[in-house]
Amino acid sequence: MAPSDTHRAIEAVWRIESARLIAGLTRFVRDVGFAEDLAQDALLAALERWPDSGVPDNPGAWLMATAKHRAIDAFRRNKLLERKEEQLGHELETRHEMAAPDLDTALDDDVGDDLLSLVFTSCHPVLPSEARVALTLRLLGGLTTVEIARAFLVPEATVAQRIVRAKRTLAEARVPFEVPRGEERAARLSSVLEVLYLIFNEGYSATAGDDWMRPALCEDALRLGRILAELAPEESEVHGLVALMEIQASRARARIGPSGEPVLLLDQNRARWDRVLIGRGLAALDRAGRLGGALGPYALQAAIAACHARALTPAETDWARIAALYDGLAQLAPSPVVELNRAVAVAMAFGPAAGLELVDALTAGRSLESYHLLPSVRGDLLAKLGRTDEARAEFERAASLTRNARERTLLLERAAACVHASAAPSADRPAS
């Protein structure tokens, strides 16, 4: 195998094995920062040796064994865990003497628990939200600091600092490497799901920059969500979030026009929606429902997305059901953004005047005064009611608030269209 082919193989192995490797090493050394350093050392060793020796039959086991050798060396050099040194050294020597299939078994031992523990550790509430996102993408997504920085349009040094501080905070707080139980697990799970959805949403509707979407982030969030669903199969909200992401991701190809411009929900070519992803999403939603109890916030949002997915044309959309689902979501997880989405559904089901009344209440409350979709939605409803001068002002205000170049262009085009009362623009909605 040529060196370039070997390097590509190593990159692929790292993407597949890094999370498992770091998780297993964290259980071994009880320090997520040290575990990542050991994993990186093993990766460097692979880059040095595999071009000559070839990729091993079980590259994951090779990386794990190499990293554990380094861990033992570090324990000895720093005189750490002196009472365990003999025990750990004996374990390592024994494993070294065992055949490759035994190394495979060692690598697979408790791998599910290890990965789940790593998920809960990297998403621990002791960390600020942006640090949880960066650490999760680094440890579980296998992304480099450069890739994370590029995805979120922040300097590489900022991402590096977030990751370093996050690992230091986890160590100083003595966060245990474990899957919490009972009420603590439920509380911590919400943080995990929040992180995954933050990653997905940044990919689905980029906050800033020149691109409307960043599909790679959606793919990373979906992959991590699917892993979590297999590791925590009895958690209804995990399946609810996976369902929501699958269905939303199904629209990706239809959400972008030939020149990269946004295509809003009711204007999308539904033949371009990915029916495989829709099927997976509906199956995950059904799985969430079969676990019993009332649907949680993510599952309710997935049920709303499912209403769109089941409608073969915009006219077939059951807006009354969507409005009712938003009523339930507003009671379960009240927020101004949920109310704004509910207003859109009410407008579609019962007329723009009914929706505008709800939007005006949100405008008076000022909780969304810097949120560009509030004037965007208000502009759409005003345009439908023939109040085009007011609508133009709202679209211009929305354009001034967004940091996404593609979205700004769309909003300014809609403002320009309002100059002529007869030019009825397509609806702009938070859901797309």
Flag whether 38 is in a domain. yes
Q: Which helix (H) or strand (E) holds 209?
A: strand 208-209
Flag whether 298 is in a domain. no
Q: How far apart are CA 90 and CA 98, in angstroms?
A: 12
With tokens 């003497």, the residue in question is: 97
Q: How many C-beta atoms surround the C-beta of residue 291 within 10 A?
A: 16
Supply the range of the domain harboring residue 90.
Answer: 3-109
Flag whether 363 is in a domain. no
Contact present, 188 and 124 (Cβ < 8 Å) = yes
Q: Which amino acid is at 210?
A: D
Alpha helices in 271-417 (DSSP H): 275-290, 297-310, 319-332, 336-350, 352-365, 373-384, 388-401, 405-417
List per-residue pLDDT tens for the chain, 432 residues long.
Answer: 566 778 888 888 887 888 889 999 998 898 999 999 999 999 999 999 998 888 898 998 999 999 999 888 888 777 655 555 555 555 555 544 443 444 444 444 445 588 899 999 999 999 999 999 999 999 988 888 998 998 888 899 999 999 999 999 999 999 999 888 888 888 889 999 999 999 999 999 888 888 888 898 999 999 999 999 998 999 999 999 999 999 999 999 999 999 999 999 999 999 999 999 999 999 999 999 999 888 999 999 999 999 999 999 999 999 999 999 999 999 999 999 999 999 999 999 999 999 999 999 999 988 899 999 999 999 999 999 999 999 999 999 999 999 999 999 999 999 999 987 554 444 444 555
Flag whether 352 is in a domain. no
Contact present, 179 and 120 (Cβ < 8 Å) = yes
Q: How far apart are the first and last CA of the chain?
A: 46
Flag whether 35 is in a domain. yes
Distances (CA, A) of 177 to 31, 148, 166, 360: 8, 24, 14, 48
* Burial of residue 187 (number of CB atoms within 10 Å: 0-12, 13-18, 19+): exposed
How far, rounded to the nearest angstrom, does the alpha carbon of residue 365 sit from its chain's CA centroid?
Answer: 30
Flag whether 136 is in a domain. no
So what's the pLDDT on residue 90? 56
> Radius of gyration (Cα) for the chain, nearest Å?
25
Nearest to 346 by CA among 381, 393, 382: 381
Which residues face 404 on adjacent strands?
209
Cα angle at 172 between 168 and 174, to 5 degrees?
A: 115
Q: How far apart are CA 429 and CA 417, in angstroms?
A: 17
Query: Rounded to two decimals, what is the model's pTM?
Result: 0.81
Contacts with 143 (C-beta within 8 Å, 6 or more apart), sequence order: 137, 151, 220
Flag whether 104 is in a domain. yes
Q: Which amino acid is at 95?
A: R
Distances (CA, A) of 118 to 164, 265, 351, 413: 16, 36, 48, 46
What DSSP state is assigned to residue 426?
P
So what's the pLDDT on residue 8? 83
Flag whether 151 is in a domain. no
So what's the pLDDT on residue 431? 53
Q: How far apart are CA 41 and CA 58, in angstroms?
A: 18
So what's the pLDDT on residue 81? 52
So what's the pLDDT on residue 83? 52
Q: Is 153 left (phi over 0), alpha (psi -120 to 50) or beta?
A: left
Q: How far apart are CA 170 and CA 51, in angstroms?
A: 36
Please write the tens of the pLDDT for every residue from 181-197.
888 888 889 999 999 99
What DSSP state is assigned to residue 427?
P
Q: How many C-beta atoms surround the C-beta of residue 360 within 10 A?
A: 13
Name the token pair of 279.
């099927």
Q: How far apart are CA 332 and CA 210, in angstroms?
A: 35
Please write the tens of the pLDDT for every residue from 217-227.
999 999 999 99
Please state the domain count of the chain: 1
Q: How far apart are CA 416 and CA 392, in angstroms?
A: 7
Task: Tell me if residue 256 falls in helix, strand or coil.
Answer: strand
Q: How far apart are CA 31 and CA 174, in angstroms?
A: 9
